[in-house]
């Protein structure tokens, strides 16, 4: 079974984003706004883009700490939204 074109485009744009941010050989830091912007450009709602990004954990990206929770930065904004938007920035995201 093949992914729908929208999902394929989203995956490729996230891959490109991580590759650009980690071009210097360091791990990338991916902001929620970057993910939402990519999703919006493909006609996805914010929550839908966040869910799709989180679904790529372990296949397209991972964290050095080994867990999403340990890599999440808590802010007032992130606490104001229920899951899956209760994250603002992942630290140490690496292209897998």
Which range among 17-26, 64-73, 75-84, 87-96 shows the weakest confidence by mean pLDDT? Answer: 87-96
The pair phi, psi for residue 35, each rounded to 5°, is -65, -45
CA 68 to chain centre: 11
Q: What is the mean pLDDT of residues 64-80?
A: 77
State the CB neighbour count (10 A cutoff) for residue 91. 15
The pair phi, psi for residue 62, each rounded to 5°, is -150, 180
Highest-pLDDT range among 20-24, 34-38, 70-74: 34-38
pTM: 0.80
Tokens of 49: 């883009």
pLDDT exceeds cutoff 80 at 58:
yes
Alpha helices in the chain (DSSP H): 5-21, 32-41, 46-55, 68-71, 76-80
- Quote the pLDDT of residue 96: 52
């Amino acid at each position: 079974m093949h992914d729908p074109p929208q999902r394929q485009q989203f995956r490729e744009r996230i891959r490109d984003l991580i590759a650009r941010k980690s071009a210097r050989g360091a791990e990338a830091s991916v902001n929620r706004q970057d993910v939402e912007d990519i999703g919006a450009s493909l006609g996805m709602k914010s929550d839908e883009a966040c869910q799709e990004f989180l679904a790529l954990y372990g296949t397209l990206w991972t964290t050095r700490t080994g867990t999403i929770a340990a890599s999440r930065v808590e802010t007032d904004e992130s606490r104001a939204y229920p899951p899956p938007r209760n994250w603002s920035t992942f630290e140490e995201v690496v292209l897998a």
